[in-house]
């Protein structure tokens, strides 16, 4: 028989862990599922400077503190890659790669993942000079030249972090100005180790039998092609929602982002969504935590209403 819970929370990032805290504190049985370690993208962040109560905190440290808080009232944690979710009305069925569970409510907090450039050499040199995580791989490029591709918050934050290790960080951006927050831009422009290549697209990542050696670049204004010798390539060109297992539920937009109301409810009763997987403007730890609290309380209200319907 499938093991049963009041609520299953899919994804153990800050939003999912907060939902687990609120739901379990309301005396609901909670399973927190994730395909990897708890914390989500916090584990890839060197320092978080905009989470209230902390001037600066290491991402993995904040993840551990949130996990300890989320499980203190009995929420269970399990590894599992969710393959499908079936809505059977008052009962939902969650199938992973190894188990099947039944639940009254679901909170989806699967987050998002970095988008690939889709150029020759990107997959070939994955783990051999191509990376999407400066905190994870930056130490391999100490005193070396790396490029960062992108112009948003992630690209500039991670580029700034890399200057602590690399000899030089070259930011390649397809536009003539950055999209990152102004404070991040100011820091980057003031950093002597950072330089910028504007109006340019990387068309190929080049290497030898062992590692990356260069990137080929096309200037989208002049049409000029060039090649930059580098030791590493860090890519930050956007994110995609992780929502493939939920495609049958009809809760996503055309790009895969889950649509909810202000109560984190999807159009399917009993299914909520929180964090970076939602269609929204701001994706931050602070907003994820708020959404998790809202969903945790919403789950309690939903299950209480289900009980009242049964009694009547």
Active site residues per annotation: 133, 136-137
Q: Which residues pair with 79 in a beta bridge?
A: 34
**How far from the centroid of its chain's Cα atoms is residue 9's Cα?**
16
Q: What are phi and psi of 100, to 5 degrees?
A: -130, 135
Residue with tokens 């690209």: 155
Residues 6+ apart with CB under 8 A from 157: 180, 184
**Distance between first and last Cα of the chain:** 28
Residue with tokens 């422009």: 189
User: Is-contact 216 204, C-beta < 8 A?
Assistant: yes
What gap in Å lies between CA 251 and CA 109, rounded to an integer? 13
| Measured CA distances, 236 to 15, 135, 189, 221, 268 (Å) | 22, 13, 18, 21, 33
What gap in Å lies between CA 165 and CA 305, rounded to an integer? 55
User: Is-contact 105 30, C-beta < 8 A?
Assistant: no
């Amino acid at each position: 028989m499938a093991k049963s819970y009041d609520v299953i929370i899919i994804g153990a990032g800050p939003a999912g862990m907060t939902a687990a805290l609120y739901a379990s504190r309301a005396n609901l049985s909670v399973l927190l599922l994730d395909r990897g370690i708890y914390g989500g993208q916090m584990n890839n962040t060197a320092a978080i400077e905009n989470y209230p109560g902390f001037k600066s905190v290491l991402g993995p440290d904040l993840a551990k503190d949130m996990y300890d808080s989320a499980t203190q009232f009995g929420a269970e944690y399990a590894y599992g890659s969710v393959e499908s979710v079936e809505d059977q009305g008052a009962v939902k069925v969650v199938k992973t790669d190894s188990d099947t569970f039944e639940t009254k409510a679901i909170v989806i907090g699967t987050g998002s993942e970095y988008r690939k450039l889709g150029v020759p050499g990107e997959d070939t040199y994955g783990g051999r000079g191509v990376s999407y995580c400066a905190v994870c791989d930056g130490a391999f490029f100490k005193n070396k030249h790396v490029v960062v591709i992108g112009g948003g918050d992630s690209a500039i934050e991670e580029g700034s972090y890399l200057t602590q290790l690399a000899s030089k960080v070259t930011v390649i951006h397809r536009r003539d100005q950055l999209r990152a927050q102004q404070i991040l831009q100011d820091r980057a422009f003031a950093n002597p180790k950072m330089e910028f290549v504007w109006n340019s697209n990387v068309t190929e990542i080049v290497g030898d039998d062992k590692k990356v050696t260069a990137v080929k670049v096309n200037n989208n204004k002049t049409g000029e092609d060039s090649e930059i010798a580098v030791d590493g390539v860090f890519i930050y060109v956007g994110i995609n929602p992780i929502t493939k297992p939920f495609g049958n539920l009809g809760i996503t937009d055309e790009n895969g982002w889950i649509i909810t109301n202000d109560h984190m409810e999807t159009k399917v009763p009993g299914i909520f969504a929180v964090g970076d997987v939602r269609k929204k403007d701001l994706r931050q730890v602070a907003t994820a935590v708020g959404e998790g609290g809202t969903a945790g309380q919403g789950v309690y209200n939903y299950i209480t209403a289900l009980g009242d319907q049964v009694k009547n």
